[in-house]
């Protein structure tokens, strides 16, 4: 099938709640929806804490109050789990109303198929994330296998913090994914902003996480529009297939 016949996945803008006012999560979520957000991105970080013994986490997995509030808004909750034991989080997140569950490829090599199966059978979409140092080839089996993921998240910063600089050298990974899988949801996370979005769009990303660029803007709705327009432009020109 030529690329002209391929239905490219729709652009989705997913503001990262990591940059929101945690004391007012529900109203911040509603505000993002009003600004045109498609999804809401939630970061759950216990990744480093378990190794370094530094307890650092953002939204407690068992604290489902926020998830329930957002469920009332019928938002799509895009959950990015930077945890070393993602299987333990599947049921709590499914029960709390998460829409998608993205785990890190670096942590669960032995149990990928079981993990994906359990995420999907509990009613969530499954995603796999890779850190900047992880080669893209590592996750091809997860996209092609019988129990395959719905989305690949290419980290464009080292996981851990909002407000870091976008890593353009991650774009060849995105480009390779888009070339191989024209209709896969490809997410980029870290440092996405009006100044960096065109690089991600040209590489073929269609799901854009942005925290500081959206929440720190005077006009968050305007920023969301700029991000979306860039993806739409790249998709209509099919620049990433050239």
Ligand X SMILES: O=C(CO)[C@H](O)[C@H](O)COP(=O)(O)O
Q: Which spans of this chain sit near ligand X (rule: CB under 6 A)?
A: 16, 18-19, 41, 43, 80, 157, 159-164, 189-192, 209-213
Active-site residue flag, 169: no
Task: List CB contacts of 214: < 8 A, sequence separation 6 or more.
Answer: 15, 16, 19, 32, 35, 37, 220, 223, 224
Looking at 28, 38, 78, 189, which residue binds Fe ion (CB under 5 A)? 189
The one segment of 36-44, 100-108, 192-200, 228-236 that binds Fe ion by CB under 5 A: 36-44
Give the burial class of 222: count Cβ atoms within 10 A of its Cβ; 0-12 exposed, 13-18 middle, 19 or more buried: middle
CB atoms within 10 A of CB 81: 26
**80 in contact with Fe ion (CB under 5 A):** yes
Which stretches does DSSP call E strand in 52-99?
A: 76-82
Least separation in angstroms between residue 144's CB and Fe ion is 24
Active-site annotation holder among 38, 43, 150, 185 = 43
In contact, 137 and 116? CB cutoff 8 Å: no
Q: 3-class SS at 16?
A: strand
Q: Is 173 a binder of Fe ion (CB under 5 A)?
A: no
CB of 151 to ligand X, least distance (A): 14
- State yes or no: residue 78 binds Fe ion (CB under 5 A): no
Nearer to ligand X, 8 or 155 (CB): 155
Residue 157 binding target from Fe ion, ligand X, none, CB below 5 to 8 Å by type = ligand X
Q: Return the SS3 of 110.
A: helix
CB of 161 to ligand X, least distance (A): 6
Could you confirm whether 189 is annotated as catalytic?
yes
* Exposure string over 95-105, b if 16+ CB within 10 A, otherwise e: ebbbbbbbbbb
Helix boundaries (H) for 73-218: 90-96, 112-121, 140-144, 171-180, 197-203, 212-215
The residue with its CB nearest to ligand X is: 211
Q: Closer CB to Fe ion, residue 9 or residue 211? A: 211
Q: What is the largest CA-CA distance in the chain?
A: 51
Which of 38/189 has CB closer to Fe ion? 189
Q: Active site residue: 21, 34, 189, 198, which one?
A: 189
Residues forming the active site = 43, 189
Residues in touch with Fe ion (CB under 5 A)? 43, 80, 189
């Amino acid at each position: 099938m030529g690329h002209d016949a391929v239905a490219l996945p729709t652009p989705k803008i997913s503001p990262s709640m990591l940059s929101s006012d945690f004391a007012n999560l529900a109203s911040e979520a509603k505000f993002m929806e009003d600004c045109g957000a498609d999804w809401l991105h939630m970061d759950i970080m216990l990744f480093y804490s378990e190794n370094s013994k530094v307890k650092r986490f953002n939204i407690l997995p068992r604290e489902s109050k926020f998830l329930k509030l957002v469920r009332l808004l019928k938002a799509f909750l895009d959950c990015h789990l930077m945890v070393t034991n993602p299987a333990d989080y599947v049921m709590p997140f499914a029960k709390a109303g998460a829409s998608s569950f993205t785990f890190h490829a670096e942590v669960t090599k032995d149990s990928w198929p079981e993990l994906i199966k359990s995420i999907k059978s509990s009613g969530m979409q499954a995603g796999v994330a890779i850190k900047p140092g992880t080669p893209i080839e590592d996750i091809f089996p997860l996209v092609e296998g019988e129990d395959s993921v719905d989305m690949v998240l290419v980290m464009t910063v080292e996981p851990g913090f909002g407000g870091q600089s976008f890593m353009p050298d991650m774009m060849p990974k995105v480009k390779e994914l888009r070339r191989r899988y024209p209709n896969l949801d490809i997410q980029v996370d870290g440092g996405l902003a009006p100044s960096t979005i065109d690089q991600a769009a040209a590489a073929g990303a269609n799901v854009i996480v942005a925290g500081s660029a959206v929440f720190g803007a005077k006009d968050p709705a305007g920023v969301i529009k700029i991000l979306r327009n860039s993806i739409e432009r790249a998709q209509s020109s099919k620049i990433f297939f050239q």
